Amino acid sequence: MMNAIKASAEYIKGRTAFEPEVGIILGTGLGGLVEHIEIVEAIPYSEIPNFPVSTVEGHSGKLIFGLLGGKKVVAMQGRFHYYEGYTAQQVVFPVRVMKLLGIKYLFVSNAAGSMNSTFRVGDVMVINDHINLIPNPLIGKNLDELGPRFPAMNDAYNHELIEKATAIAEREGIKLQYGCYVALTGPTFETPKEYMWVKIIGGDAVGMSTAPEVIAARHMDIPVFGVSIITDTMENTCISHEEVQANGRLAEKNMTKLFTELLKTL
């Protein structure tokens, strides 16, 4: 696996001399943030050796290199999911590659359902913890070059970045929610009882991604900032993928503003 990660990173370095400082992973319906990046290079996943290819509608499948908030970023316009048939290790493969490209921070986003009665469709929830119920990407032989066998996860979502984001939101008039994200395998949306169960175990939002990527990032000691865009609630459990994409786009403006201003503080 380490050889494959290095081969992908070397191929990308051969395509562009751009050295990113921050990695960004964009969730379902949230790819519009790319329109605000001063793009220097765009590389389709299909051209990168060993890279998976996204099969999900709303995930275009490109690595975007450019400037956002005055920082050099590499954005994944489309991520990979366990439910697509990839292993947990393949799902986090791009995060490993971004580490070798030089990123110092990782920003993650997703579209999520909420079981918190105070949340509304279109809210931006800052993730302050997660419960991962997708197979852990660190299962198997440890990549000692990248991180320890047993990484701590008490600071999965960086407290300093959350504090900065809170100050930015207050200044910019962006309403933020805060909560725990629960990662399930999908690809089915949750039943009403599953929503209730997620709430009982401490979840505020639920989705099918993010936690494995965060685990890989923390394994490599990369600070993480994450948000969930609330696209449906317990009161609206009958929802389609198309509605998730549309509802995600409603809140994309606030997420883009938050990410851009937060980048300026790094």
Give backbone dihedrals phi and psi of 144, rounded to 5 degrees, phi first: -60, -30
| The overall pTM is greater than 0.95 | no
Average pLDDT value for residue range 193-216: 96
Could you say which of 3.40.190.10, 3.30.230.10, 3.40.50.1580, 3.40.50.2300 is the CATH number of the domain covering 2-264?
A: 3.40.50.1580
pLDDT at 227 over 80: yes
Q: Alpha-carbon torsion 266, 18, 137, 209, what sign?
A: positive
Sketch the domain layout of the chain as residue ranges.
Answer: 2-264
- Strand 71-77, strand 22-26: pairing: parallel
Tens digits of per-residue pLDDT, 91-119? 999 999 999 999 999 999 999 999 999 99
Within 10 Å of residue 17's Cβ, how many Cβ atoms? 9
Give backbone dihedrals phi and psi of 83, rounded to 5 degrees, phi first: -70, -15
Please, which residues have CB within 8 angstroms of residue 104's CB and are 6 or more apart in sequence? Answer: 21, 22, 222, 223, 266
